[in-house]
Amino acid sequence: MDDAVRDYIDAIAPEHRPLFDRLHRLVLEAHPDAAVVLSYQMPTYKVGRRRLFVGVWKHGLSIYGWAQGRDGGFTARHPELTTGKGTIHLRPDDAAGVPDDELRDLVRAALDG
């Protein structure tokens, strides 16, 4: 992880840091080989040619970048968390109701080759 990513993570508001840390942990559990870089001014997990972007905003986290149909069924199970093609908005309260296994499925579907 480069210094720009560390700076981004260090600047995350305390109310959103646990959610970011949770998703970060799940991505690296599924893909310990993932490169974590800053792309489009947000942390981006790279595995081969696949990318998963995670931005932290006032509402919580936004997750972007998977190919259509490669979300492990996450958007079908949680349509209230999607805000358009390829974007999931996770507020801390919403994320509390989403099991780690569902987030892992999303990560695997998005990043597996």
Q: Which domain holds residue 42?
A: 3-111
Cα separation of 56 and 70, whole Å?
22
pTM of the model: 0.92
pLDDT by residue for the chain (113 residues), tens only, comes to 788 999 999 999 999 999 999 999 999 999 999 999 999 999 999 999 999 999 999 989 999 988 878 889 999 999 999 887 679 999 999 999 999 999 999 999 999 96
CA proximity to 103, closest of 50, 29, 37, 34: 29
CATH number at residue 61: 3.90.1150.200
| Tally of domains in the chain | 1
Cα separation of 79 and 8, whole Å?
28
